[in-house]
Amino acid sequence: MPLATSLAIFQSCNITGVPKSTRFAILRDMAMVRKAERRPPLNKTHKLKRQDWAKKYLKTDFSKVLWTDEMRVSLDGPDGWARGWIGKGQRAPVRLRRQQGGGGVLVWAGIIKDELVGPFRVEDGVKLNSQSYCQFLEDTFFKQWYRKKSASFKKNMIFMQDNAPPHASKYSTAWLARKGIKEEKLMTWPPCSPDLNPIENLWSIIKCEIYKEGKQYTSLNSVWEAVVAAARNVDGEQIKTLTESMDGRLLSVLAKKGGYIGR
């Protein structure tokens, strides 16, 4: 009974009259509380495209792929994260309630093999469209990282981005092509597939760190500094584990006939 209440679980076993605290104590030894994951729905076309993608890249050397994405972090953190145990007789700490989580910062990063690229901060107030996205890549990724790489590295690197409109537009595609990122060097990406991008796991690691113990922030600069500090604590072995998971992810997509895989 996934996501069932403790009361419903006990009633399904024809057990009644058990206090809530006792139900929790019993269930804690065999289960845990989790929120349902939110994912876009997959239709038949999505599943077929995911399978085609997996077949296309099944023999790819994923150590050559740069996996990229954006993440938004707010001052207050995701809803429902401020939970934890407190001692008997203690009061729960007070949390601020602010609209839109108090505001936030948009962060871009990439991972390749065992290396973290960035994170880079999107300037406050900038709404990413095709033009601003390309300018952002020029000022950060290309000038601060890519241009330092060898010609051999650039020749073999495959650039991955999802199908967000600023990424997949004709303008952005043509702009990247002028930078030499085109055809086989620009990975095609199936729709509705955040579960296939290993950088999503990096975002989870960073968020768990910056929002642990229900932490909130008082300024955009402070939450950005926390992101940078958390990213620095992610070592190369952790990143390598994520990028080396891709062979298994592709096989899982094929085994599930295009369905979502566990992350």
Contact 65, 186 (CB under 8 A): no
Residues 6 or more apart in contact with residue 28 via CB below 8 angstroms:
none
In the predicted structure, residue 11 carries a pLDDT above the cut 90:
no
Q: Tens of pLDDT along 188-240?
A: 999 999 999 999 999 999 999 999 888 899 999 999 999 999 999 999 999 99
The 3-state DSSP class for residue 182 equals: coil
| pTM passes above 0.85 | no
Give CB contacts under 8 A, 24+ apart, made by 143-151: 144/120, 145/117, 145/118
Report the distance separating Cα 27 and Cα 42, nearest Å. 33
| Average pLDDT over the chain, rounded to an integer | 89
- Identify the CA nearest to 158 among candidates 180, 174, 175, 136: 180
Give the model's confidence band at 86: pLDDT under 50 very low, under 70 low, under 90 confident, else very high. low
In the predicted structure, residue 74 carries a pLDDT above the cut 60:
yes
**Pairing state between β 65-74 and 158-160:** parallel
Specify the DSSP class assigned to residue 244. T
Task: Provide the pLDDT for residue 103.
Answer: 80
Give the model's confidence band at 14: pLDDT under 50 very low, under 70 low, under 90 confident, else very high. confident
Give the model's confidence band at 244: pLDDT under 50 very low, under 70 low, under 90 confident, else very high. very high
Better pLDDT: 77 or 100: 77
